[in-house]
Amino acid sequence: MADLIERAAKLDAEDPLAHVRDEFDLEPGVVYLDGNSLGAPPRGVAARVEEVVRHQWGRRLIRSWTESWWSAPERVGEKIAPLVGAAPGQVVVADSTSVNIFKALVAAVRMAPGRREIVVDAGTFPTDGYIAESVAELTGTVLRPVPPDELDDVLSDQTAVVLLNHVDYKTGRLYDMAALTAKAHAAGARIVWDLCHSAGVLPIELDALKVDLAVGCTYKFLNGGPGAPAFIYVPRELQESFRQPLSGWGGHRDPFAMAPGYEPAPGIARARAGTPDILSLLTLDAALAVWRQVDLADVRAKGLALTEFFIDCVDELIGDAVEVVTPRDDRRGHQVSLRHPDAGALVAELTARQVIGDFRTPDVLRFGFAPLYNRYQDALQAANSLAEVLTAAR
């Protein structure tokens, strides 16, 4: 234990992101390792929300739509774009992850006339699978669930689109975006990436890898707050052919003209649908300010080091009482998943001890490490607390 304490102190002292932790409003005494479900709020968010409510809504009222609100989905999208490797004009923040996956899948099927199959990760986050099943039913296509490692077995000249998760939500495994995108394209298919567990912690190169479409949430590692709107990426070369199914007024060329027929807006705005959720959207806008002082390469390096240190702590303090299901090499995101038959009860007891992770059925404990505010001492305390809980349960 002494060597782990010394190692944690040394790593925290050398942390290039240590100064960013001060930008977050964290509860004293709590070890928060659930940033892969809901990120912590940056300190500037509360004041910004108050300004929006008291001034923009409270004083400017309807005038705020034309003064700042209507352009907010594109404006906030421009802040996310560099975090996912996208040039300007290709990311917009609007609607939920589920809604954006629906838009992306239908648009991708429409871009592939004559192809009748949708391939989806068999272990995908449930909403992705639900939406893919619905899109298949509505478009008359066949859904083909498959593990990403077996993609070669199902790709064919009938594959219209492949939907994959960049990081597996349960195990924390990171998939090779470059290789899998290339495989889909070699079969003549489009690919849609779900970035919910990688946006904000991993360097992502959507433009460089020629990704067709991508969707991500903003309430996890981007710290946008509960229910924060999602984003969708449509590369410039596909925007003209992007025919999404939710032709709401928000994506109209001239939304305030109230024309009887739908005409899509030029550029990325056509990926919008309805009225934007202004309070959540501007909360996210304020939260993204922390990225002005952050290099994603530092975030990734710390995330790998944090998760490696946590796994080392688990190995030394707990041993084979739990199974580490997250890859031990670089093929992982910024979470560590452990398997134990009493995982649910263990997470509940850890929460009572102010160590907050989460539980996924039937037997997985998940610990999500947000490099902007988590410390190595947090990783050690979490592993030590888990060891104490396991010892007490014997």
Active-site residue list: 125, 194, 219-220, 366
Q: How many helices and strands in the chain, by DSSP H and E?
A: 12, 13
- Taking the C-alpha atoms of residue 132 and residue 185, their distance in angstroms, rounded to an integer, is 19
Here the contacts of 260-266 (C-beta below 8 Å, separation 24 or greater) are 266/239
In angstroms, the CA 300 to CA 181 distance is 21
Our measurement of the distance from residue 186's CA atom to the centroid of its chain's CA atoms, rounded to an integer in Å, reads 27
- Asked, as a colleague might, if the bond just before 41 is cis with ω within 30 of 0, I would say no
φ, ψ of residue 183 in degrees (nearest 5): -65, -45
Q: Which two tokens stand for residue 190?
A: 């489009």
DSSP codes of every residue in 238-307: HHTT---S---GGGBSSGGG--SS--BPSGGGGG--S---HHHHHHHHHHGGGGGG--HHHHHHHHHHHH
Helix (H) or strand (E) segment spanning residue 389: helix 376-393
* Residues composing the chain: 394
Which 3 state secondary structure label does DSSP give 146?
strand
Q: With the C-alpha atoms ordered 41, 288, 376, 38, is the resulting torsion angle positive or negative? A: positive
β-strands 231-233, 213-216: how paired? antiparallel
Q: Which of 19, 86, 6, 5 is closest to 302 using CA atoms?
A: 19
Cα pseudo-dihedral 170, 234, 156, 205, rounded to 10: -60
